[in-house]
């Protein structure tokens, strides 16, 4: 992978560690003048020379994007890079940082390793969601984590029908409904009691959040499946994409969910990976040790 121009993505109000990360990158850039670094306008007050402030259009000409923050920042970066196939290096300046590859304290060493070629790249599958009104697609989104279907009124439950490859699957009555990618399986899906999917698994998972029936459980479906979801009653629903964008699904309309041709590419360092993330970030340390 050619690495001569690197873009930086972050939101200055998200983390106290962000300024330190920017300073670390600037110091590294001064010592490596063959690599140029740029950042978007939200980082204007934090960026220092030789980091340049550029437009989003210019940022998308980068060979690599460094996302500094929590998993939300990584999701925003994936959305920004959609269709451009720019690999992303996540730097955890948030809490869990499940999608991050390195910490702020280790950033300088990580940059050394990346530019020495000591890394690999992993592609993550995504979901296309198309909103259909009277047979025509009126809106669409592509997500890395999940599509969240919920009632417009926060105190109400959702009552939705789900079709699987053109055949009725079931009618869900729950607080809300999630359709998640393997990447999203460790996010809201996990909190809602859904299964963890290994990132390369060619599957998605449908998870009802607090369903009214105890017989309704999360369902893992193959990635080649096409799901059609619509309200079972005459009320509009909210569709939330990766926790970032909300669209309204009107009565009579439906949303069609399928595997996307797009993907998100993450930079992975040696001796890291999904198994390590389970142990270190989710606390999978095994049974308690005897004193």
Positions annotated as catalytic residues are: 71
- Pairwise CA distance, residues 48 & 35, whole Å: 15
124: which strand partners? 264
**Which tokens hold the place of 26?**
């600037």
Closest CA to 71 of 100, 51, 48: 100
Q: Strand 102-103 to strand 88-92: parallel, antiparallel, or no bridges (unpaired)?
A: parallel
Identify whether the C-beta of residue 190 lies closer than 8 Å to the C-beta of residue 261: no
Give the CB-side neighbour count of residue 271, counting CA atoms within 13 A.
Answer: 3
Identify whether the C-beta of residue 195 lies closer than 8 Å to the C-beta of residue 181: no
Q: What is the CA radius of gyration of the chain?
A: 21
Identify whether the C-beta of residue 127 lies closer than 8 Å to the C-beta of residue 259: yes
How far, CA to CA in Å, does 218 sit from each of 112, 209, 274? 42, 9, 22
Give the CB-side neighbour count of residue 262, counting CA atoms within 13 A.
Answer: 19
* Residue given tokens 């041709």 in the structure block: 261
Identify whether the C-beta of residue 208 lies closer than 8 Å to the C-beta of residue 174: yes
State whether residue 269 is helix, strand or coil.
Answer: strand
Closest CA to 258 of 211, 233, 221: 221
């Amino acid at each position: 992978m050619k690495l001569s121009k690197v873009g930086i993505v972050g939101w200055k109000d998200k983390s106290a560690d962000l300024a330190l990360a920017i300073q670390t990158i600037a110091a590294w850039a001064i010592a490596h003048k063959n690599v140029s670094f740029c950042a978007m306008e939200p980082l204007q007050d934090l960026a220092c020379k030789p980091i340049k402030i550029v437009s989003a259009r210019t940022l998308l000409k980068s060979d690599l994007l460094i996302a500094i923050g929590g998993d939300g920042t990584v999701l925003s970066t994936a959305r920004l890079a959609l269709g451009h196939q720019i690999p992303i290096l996540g730097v955890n300046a948030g809490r869990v940082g499940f999608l991050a590859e390195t910490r702020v304290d280790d950033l300088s060493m990580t940059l050394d390793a990346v530019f020495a070629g000591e890394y690999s790249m992993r592609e993550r599958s995504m979901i296309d969601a198309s909103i259909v009104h009277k047979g025509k697609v009126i809106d669409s989104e592509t997500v890395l984590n999940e599509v969240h279907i919920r009632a417009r009124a926060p105190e109400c439950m959702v009552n939705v029908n789900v079709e699987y490859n053109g055949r009725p699957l079931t009618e869900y009555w729950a607080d809300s409904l999630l359709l998640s990618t393997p990447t999203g399986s460790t996010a809201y899906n996990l909190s809602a009691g859904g299964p963890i999917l290994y990132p390369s698994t060619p599957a998605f998972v449908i998870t009802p959040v607090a369903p009214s029936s105890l017989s309704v459980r999360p369902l893992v479906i193959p990635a080649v499946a096409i799901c059609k979801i619509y309200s079972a009653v005459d009320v509009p629903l909210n569709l939330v994409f990766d926790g970032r964008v909300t669209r309204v699904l009107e009565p009579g309309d439906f949303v069609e969910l399928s595997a996307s041709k797009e993907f998100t590419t993450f930079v992975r360092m040696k001796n890291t990976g999904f198994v390590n993330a389970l142990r270190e970030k989710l606390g999978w340390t095994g049974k308690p040790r005897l004193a």
